[in-house]
Amino acid sequence: MFGINFIKFDSMTYVIKFQNGQVVKEGRGLSFFYYSPTTSISAVPMGSNNLPFIFSETTKDYQTVIIQGQITYKIGNPKQLADVLDFTVNGNGVYKKDDTEKLNQTIVNEAQTATSSFIHQLGLKEAIRAAKTIEIKITEGLSNSQAIKLLGIEILSINILAIKATPEMERALETETREGLQQEADQAIYTRRNFAVEQERKIKESELNTEIAIEEKNKQIAEKKAETEVQKAESELKLREMQVQADIAIENQRKILLEQKTANQIKEADTQGYVLETTLKPYKELDWKILTALNNNPDPKFNISLAFRELAENAGKIGNLNISPELLDTLLNDKRK
């Protein structure tokens, strides 16, 4: 009547009353009269909500897995949520615009974002068996999500209900498992049959081992004998080597003595040569005429010979020279005598 209405909410609803754009009243389970032309009312449900979700992701080996689960949450800060989403109700308490679906979709999107990178690192079989780990990843992702913090909601629990591959891959995995079980059954039959063969093989192996042991013993005796002979030959070889080394040492000593003797002789010859050269050096530098004079030879024929040599050396300065035959005859006859 005249725009004045009465409205009442239960205790699980947080009510915010706006009048002329200002908050004039807020709280849980309120009831009040209001003037509808100037009043706006937001009603945020406070109870916990179970949000089922299902989405698909691709594994490391490019296989699609479908993850199905449920997120339980509640509104921790209704006033903050009312600032982000529209929870305005009309006079009958009915939402003018249902933003609950937007809230739920935001939570599911954040959960998928937290799961995506982890699933991409797993193979198909690993991903199917990773339900508990995915729960932890989603919990951590939602706890750290800035969007969830802005909405003012609290995550109570996360449950992964199923992780499934595509129907074709499920049949392939079932076939693989069935074949594995069949192989295990075949292996059991093979094991039973192989047991009897193994027992017979052990008996034959025991007999063969006995023969091998005998042959091995004979081989050891032969090797011992051969080793003794080898040692004897090595001893003889060492004796020969010692004798050769002794001979080489003696020859080396002889060589050293011979080299020393040769060196001494060379030094002695050098000494004698030096003495002779030193002795003759003064005479080498004297003129032959002086040496002849020092000789003091009284033989007249020797002196005549020296005179002839002087004449020969100065032949260009002599005009005419007469030598009597008697002089030559005397010199020659005296020589024949």
More confident residue, 197 or 335: 197
Arithmetic mean of pLDDT, 29-42 = 84
More confident residue, 261 or 280: 261
Least confident of 27-31, 108-112, 204-208, 325-329: 325-329
What confidence tier does 70 reach under pLDDT thresholds 50, 70, 90? very high
Arithmetic mean of pLDDT, 60-78 = 89
Nearest to 28 by CA among 8, 44, 11, 43: 11
The reported pTM is 0.48
Give me the residue spans of the domains in the chain: 4-165, 288-313+324-336
Burial class (CB in 10 A: 0-12, 13-18, 19+), 166: middle
What confidence tier does 128 reach under pLDDT thresholds 50, 70, 90? confident
Dihedral sign of CA atoms 181, 182, 186, 188 in order: positive
Per-residue model confidence (pLDDT) at position 295 = 61
Tokens at 82, concatenated? 């009312």
Please, how many CA atoms are within 13 Å of residue 261, restricted to the half-sphere of its CB?
6
Per-residue model confidence (pLDDT) at position 201 = 85
More confident residue, 212 or 329: 212
pLDDT in tens, 300-320: 666 666 666 666 666 666 666
Statement: residue 336 has pLDDT above 50: no
Per-residue model confidence (pLDDT) at position 303 = 66
CATH topology of domain 4-165: Tetrahydropterin Synthase; Chain A (3.30.479)
CA distances from 150 to 21, 77, 81, 147 (A): 22, 10, 8, 5
pLDDT in tens, 244-278: 888 888 888 888 888 888 888 888 888 887 777 77
Per-residue model confidence (pLDDT) at position 312 = 67
CB-based contact 57:64 (threshold 8 Å): yes
